[in-house]
């Protein structure tokens, strides 16, 4: 039951074969039993979740067929839940949120039950989930490995069957990286697709909220529910229909280097996963061609300027900045070199870069790349290291993701087998603007050909 997933769980509740209370009790019991080892949650709302489950069962008894009715979920701790501290991975935040974030309100309206909040690194700045405030979040496939970041708690919770779905946030790969580390499907939607209010006050077009699930269909179902929460019906929405459809013949570009000219940086396992996926797509009738991504040296200061300016702003909003980790404060310092007056010029340069990169998608439907240069690294790899060393290290491990936050295109981490030591492998699929449907359809086809959701991690 713990690994049934979103769609199956919601269907069981609708049929009356299981109650929402039973699903919530199962999640709470598994959190109590397993989270001491994983450290995926910062807070668990047991009493409120059980009360919400009883209300969901009352809704079902009245004939309510909301798409997520009775499904327990978790929410990353950078997204507001009414009355709770949105810690963003730090002990420097004290204020409690006055209301649910829009995405949480929509999930509740669709019938989902919020079990708790999940861990993240401080301010979501790193691709591993470790902080002085919340400790180390561990990977259910190997507790000596990282669950990835920054949505690492969300990924660990879903991978271990603590909840069937968790909401994450992705500003530079923070959904895709932990999904890859933990063997999940993780989608960064098109920029602006999922509402970010009230967190959209920062004006960022890089950050997207999205689900981490065990299957493509589950992610599609959640997206449909978020975008049309008042639809009290179990009829498939557009994204779910796409995930259940057979794709047309697509032209798939493959790139194993970022930037161009950096080939040879992938581990043997990751390189094999990319080649095997390209071969599988070719065998399924898709046209697969090798292409370089037209990312240029002059693009680097554009991304770095916008990124460090945003980090400085994040730190500037913190109530008690003196409580931030030393590494966080150090990473914010380069933002002082980016005056506010230069931001419009950087955004204009980013727009031109986005147009140039978009030309690839006039020739091809989908881009296939790695997510990481090697599988989940040991937890604590960067413990005690400074900001510069940590940043340079992460750029060698996860350089493949941030570009698509800048362009705003939908991108997903798709499971792609297992390493020689049993760790999950993954590939990234990137679609053209506003084309999550092609991405979901193709990812679902890969899932049907090489299923991954039936395999359980050691901590489960």
pLDDT (tens digit per residue) in 275-328: 999 999 999 999 999 999 999 989 999 999 999 999 999 899 999 999 999 999
What is the reported pTM? Answer: 0.97
pLDDT value of residue 258: 73
The tokens for 320 are: 């008690």
204-213, 234-243, 296-305, 427-436: the lowest-pLDDT one: 234-243
> Ramachandran region of residue 100, left (φ > 0), alpha (ψ -120 to 50) or beta?
beta
Percentage above 70 pLDDT, the chain: 97
Cα→Cα distances 345→202, 238, 342, Å: 18, 37, 5
Strand partners, 185: 213
In percent, the amount of the chain with pLDDT more than 90 equals 94
Looking at residue 235, what is its pLDDT?
A: 73
Element (H, E) at 14: helix 6-15
Q: Decide if pLDDT at 456 tops 80.
A: yes
Q: Which residues on adjacent β-strands are paired with residue 41? A: 118
3-class state of residue 430 by DSSP: strand
Secondary structure element (H or E) that encloses residue 253, with its range: strand 251-254
The DSSP 8-state label assigned to residue 192 in this structure reads T
Q: What is the DSSP-derived secondary structure letter of residue 334?
A: G
Q: Is 76 a catalytic residue?
A: yes
- Predicted confidence (pLDDT) at residue 175 exceeds the cutoff of 80: yes
For the chain, the first-to-last Cα distance in angstroms comes to 12
What pLDDT score was predicted for residue 262?
Answer: 61
**Active-site entry in 27, 87, 131, 150:** 150
**pLDDT level of residue 400 (50, 70, 90 thresholds):** very high
Cα–Cα distance between 222 and 113 in angstroms, integer? 13
Radius of gyration of the chain from its Cα atoms, rounded to whole angstroms: 21
Q: Tell me, what's the pLDDT at 234?
A: 66
pLDDT at 387 over 60: yes
Q: Which of 87, 131, 174, 419 is catalytic?
A: 174
Inform me whether the pLDDT recorded for 192 exceeds 90: yes
pLDDT of residue 236: 84
Handedness of CA 267, 272, 275, 276 (dihedral sign): negative
255 is catalytic: no
CB 70 within 8 A of CB 53: yes
Q: Tens digits of per-residue pLDDT, 17-63? A: 999 999 999 999 999 999 999 999 999 999 999 999 999 999 999 99
- Asked about 174 being catalytic, the answer comes back as yes
Buried-exposed string 3-38: b where 16+ CB fall within 10 A, e elsewhere: bbbbbbbbebbbeeebbbbbbbbbbbebbeebbeeb
Residues 229-267 have pLDDT tens digits of 655 566 789 999 999 999 999 999 999 977 655 666 899
**What is the average pLDDT value for the chain, to the nearest integer?**
95
CA nearest to 254, candidates 356, 362, 366, 355: 366
Helix axes 20-38, 6-15, angle to 10 degrees: 150
Residue 108: name the closest of 76, 67, 78 by CA.
67
What's the confidence (pLDDT) of residue 259?
66
Residue 325: how many CB atoms within 10 A of its CB?
20
Report the distance separating Cα 193 and Cα 191, nearest Å: 6
Please state the rounded mean pLDDT for residues 129-148. Answer: 98
| pLDDT score of 385 | 96
């Amino acid at each position: 039951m713990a690994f049934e997933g979103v769609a199956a769980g919601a269907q069981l509740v609708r049929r009356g074969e299981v109650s929402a209370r039973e699903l919530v009790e199962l999640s709470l019991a598994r959190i109590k039993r397993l989270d001491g080892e994983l450290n995926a949650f910062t807070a668990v709302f047991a009493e409120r979740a059980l009360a919400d489950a009883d209300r969901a069962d009352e809704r079902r008894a009245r004939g309510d067929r909301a798409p997520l009715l009775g499904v327990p979920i978790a929410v990353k701790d950078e997204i507001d839940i009414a009355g709770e501290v949105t810690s963003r991975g730090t002990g420097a935040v004290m204020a409690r949120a006055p209301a649910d974030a829009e995405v949480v309100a929509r999930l509740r309206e669709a019938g989902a039950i919020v079990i708790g909040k999940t861990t993240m690194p401080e301010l979501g700045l790193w691709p591993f989930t470790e902080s002085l405030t919340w400790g180390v979040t561990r990977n259910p496939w190997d507790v000596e490995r990282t669950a990835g970041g920054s949505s690492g708690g969300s990924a660990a919770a879903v991978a271990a069957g603590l909840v069937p779905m968790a909401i994450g946030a992705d500003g530079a790969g923070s959904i895709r990286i932990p999904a890859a580390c933990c063997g999940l499907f993780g989608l960064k939607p098109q920029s602006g697709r999922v509402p970010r209010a009230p967190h959209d006050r920062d004006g960022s077009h890089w950050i997207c909220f999205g689900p981490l699930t065990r299957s493509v269909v589950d992610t599609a179902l959640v997206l449909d529910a978020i975008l049309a929460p008042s639809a009290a019906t179990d009829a498939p929405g557009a994204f779910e229909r796409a995930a259940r459809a057979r794709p047309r013949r697509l032209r798939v570009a493959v790139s194993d280097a970022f930037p161009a000219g950096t080939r040879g940086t992938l581990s043997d396992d990751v390189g094999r996963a990319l080649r095997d996926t390209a071969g599988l797509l070719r065998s399924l009738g898709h046209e697969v061609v090798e292409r370089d991504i037209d990312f240029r040296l002059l693009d680097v200061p554009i991304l770095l300027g916008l990124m460090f300016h945003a980090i400085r702003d994040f730190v500037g909003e913190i109530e008690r900045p003196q409580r931030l980790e030393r590494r966080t404060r150090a990473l914010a310092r380069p933002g002082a070199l980016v005056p506010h007056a230069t931001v419009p010029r950087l955004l204009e340069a980013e727009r031109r870069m986005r147009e140039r990169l978009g030309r690839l998608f006039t020739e091809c439907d989908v881009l296939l790349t790695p997510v990481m240069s090697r599988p989940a690294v040991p937890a604590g790899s960067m413990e005690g290291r400074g900001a510069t060393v940590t940043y340079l290290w992460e750029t060698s491990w996860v350089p493949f993701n941030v570009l698509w936050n800048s362009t705003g295109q939908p991108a997903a981490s798709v499971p792609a087998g297992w390493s020689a030591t049993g760790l999950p492998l993954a590939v990234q699929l990137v679609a053209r603007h506003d084309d999550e449907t092609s991405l979901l359809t193709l990812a679902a086809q890969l899932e049907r050909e090489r299923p991954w959701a039936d395999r359980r991690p050691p901590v489960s």
